[in-house]
Structure 1
């Protein structure tokens, strides 16, 4: 049975380790990206609620203008304006009908929520975004990142194969030179341009050729 080639040995030795490192790195990056994106959307809600609260005063007319302003920008966020006694003053089109105040726990099973109170303390702005929508947006972004990293893995494998091929080129050249030699060619092999790993092999061959020249030819 023929022993595996050096190329195959190198690939077998390097590919599993590189693939494992790539998978670990990719998994970590994707997990962190997922968390960071969700946190970014929540931070956006906090900023939206705070900004609107700073804009509004106690008049309902200004609250309506703020709702219309966000609707015109087609923001994905919805918000609800609530008076201090939890009476709804204004509600955006996408706001759930059953939401009239910030949950005591600060969490909702279907929505990310953030709230802020106007400087006068008369109105509370609740900004929210559907969790399903956030997850879909996050999934789309993370999927795009994963595909890019998969292409990076393919490129890395191509570079690895090219590097192995170039690294073994001197060995192929040495083999070609030996195969091209005539049986009676006993001149030394060139050693100067060989890599350090192959130079001892060529030197040993040259010593063998030197000994062959000393053997009498009885033909």
Structure 2
């Protein structure tokens, strides 16, 4: 079975914030980069347009009334001068004849009717160019002026814009994360204090945790811990009571066993058999009590959770009980009868078997010789499974029915030896199966009838 490594709440919060923050940084950087790059391109395009207009201002008619450019060599040198990029230009008349400049730019001119001036990016060989086309119309005539430059300073500007867009956003992201980390640390401090308080508690301190300044979001956790503490406190109290009662119950048969051993050692040989029989009976009572206490312990919620749950047929459980309890019933001259009917439930075989065994054992023990014990199972009108044990003994008084399922409780005036755990075990088994236990008078008007109702599978 694979296990996932648990991460801290702080780490999960910071990682949860990091993704949207980085996304915002990326979107902000892209937006700033595109905006800054557009501003830089507009500035450089304006410079190209100014160059084209300056060339247009040099247009004039020669002596043959043909369009010409009055551009001395010094002026051309100034026009082409640039610290980073190379400048190219070409001027053509209305017929496409080159008047001045670089012939290779003729094919890069944008046709009339497009934006004026118009711009585009082209590549001439391995060299990227930014090209501006300006269609001029004036008293001298019409001309097309193409100005192009390499893109080194544009690329440098792009890198500068990118850096100026990314670094501030990254620094803002880091600063935000630091502030958020500090805020998370402060916000989670009550949980750290709660953890420290629990660590400092001694093992026997099961009282409730004071909410104090606990944030509203953590109060449900504190409330759940307090409920757990209350259950642990109840379990500890029940365990202590069980141990005290068990010690008290074991003391009597152990003392009796010791007394019988002392008497057997001092008794004459002709009384040895009787003394050994008494010792055997005391040991049997001690074994029975120990088994009852172990069964009660296994029926507790903590131990019952480890039991295997499966679909069980109640009639099959009755058949098992018949084989185990029949000899005891015969020995006590009790007529033990079974009336099984099909009924399937989902539960623990051991718990239900122990429950049924204690019900039958308790009924046989309280039924006088010649009496009857009847065990039934099946489905009731509501569709629930049931187990019913009815005897012809003295029955259980109404005032005692609420107490007979308590641990080590014995009805006052009862002479029969017993541990007082039988019906307590039955109650625990019924509760583990979300069933219902009902104690009533038998159908014949005397005796007891104990009925257990269980959800069907």
TM bin, normalised by shorter chain, reads 0.5 to 0.7
The 5-angstrom pairing of residues 138-177 of structure 1 reads: 138-177=158-197
The equivalent position to 1:58 in structure 2, one of 57, 60, 65, is 60
Three-state SS of the structure 2 residue aligned to 1:198 is helix
Classify 1:36/1:182 alpha carbon distance in 2 versus 1 (closer, same or farther; 3 Å): same
The equivalent position to 1:103 in structure 2, one of 81, 94, 108, is 108
The equivalent position to 1:114 in structure 2, one of 101, 113, 132, is 132
Aligned residue pair count: 210
Contact 1:49–1:126, Cα closer than 8 Å, also in 2: no
What is aligned with 1:134?
A: 154
Classify 1:57/1:29 alpha carbon distance in 2 versus 1 (closer, same or farther; 3 Å): same
In terms of Rg, which structure is larger?
A: 2
The whole-number CA distance in structure 1 between the counterparts of 2:70 and 2:137 is 12
Normalising by structure 1, we get a TM-score of 0.61
Classify 1:136/1:208 alpha carbon distance in 2 versus 1 (closer, same or farther; 3 Å): closer
More RCO (CA 8 Å, sep 6+)? 1
The equivalent position to 1:10 in structure 2, one of 8, 13, 34, is 13
Normalising by structure 2, we get a TM-score of 0.35
Residue 146 of structure 1: how far off its partner (Å): 2.7
The whole-number CA distance in structure 1 between the counterparts of 2:69 and 2:47 is 23
Contact 1:102–1:126, Cα closer than 8 Å, also in 2: no
The whole-number CA distance in structure 2 between the counterparts of 1:187 and 1:151 is 49
**2:98 aligned with 1:86, yes or no?**
yes
Classify 1:122/1:21 alpha carbon distance in 2 versus 1 (closer, same or farther; 3 Å): closer
Which consecutive residues of structure 2, in runs of 5 or more, have no partner in the other structure? 62-67, 112-119, 242-457
The whole-number CA distance in structure 2 between the counterparts of 1:158 and 1:13 is 14
- More helix, by proportion: 1
Residue 127 of structure 1: how far off its partner (Å): 2.8
The whole-number CA distance in structure 2 between the counterparts of 1:187 and 1:166 is 27
**2:209 aligned with 1:200, yes or no?**
no
- More strand, by proportion: 2
Which consecutive residues of structure 1, in runs of 5 or more, have no partner in the other structure? 92-96
What is aligned with 1:94?
A: none
Contact 2:33–2:165, Cα closer than 8 Å, also in 1: no
What is aligned with 2:38?
A: 36
Three-state SS of the structure 1 residue aligned to 2:217 is coil
Which whole-Å deviations, capped at 9, do the CAs of 1:103-159 have from their partners, x for residues lacking one? 245764232111322533365543322134423331332234233333333334323
Three-state SS of the structure 1 residue aligned to 2:12 is helix
Three-state SS of the structure 1 residue aligned to 2:60 is coil
Residue 42 of structure 1: how far off its partner (Å): 6.3
The whole-number CA distance in structure 2 between the counterparts of 1:73 and 1:79 is 11
Classify 1:165/1:44 alpha carbon distance in 2 versus 1 (closer, same or farther; 3 Å): same
The whole-number CA distance in structure 1 between the counterparts of 2:221 and 2:109 is 79
Contact 2:55–2:145, Cα closer than 8 Å, also in 1: yes
The equivalent position to 1:25 in structure 2, one of 24, 27, 42, is 27
Three-state SS of the structure 2 residue aligned to 1:149 is helix
Residue 52 of structure 1: how far off its partner (Å): 2.9
The whole-number CA distance in structure 2 between the counterparts of 1:155 and 1:118 is 57
Contact 1:115–1:126, Cα closer than 8 Å, also in 2: yes
Classify 1:102/1:87 alpha carbon distance in 2 versus 1 (closer, same or farther; 3 Å): same
Contact 1:81–1:123, Cα closer than 8 Å, also in 2: no
Contact 2:25–2:170, Cα closer than 8 Å, also in 1: no
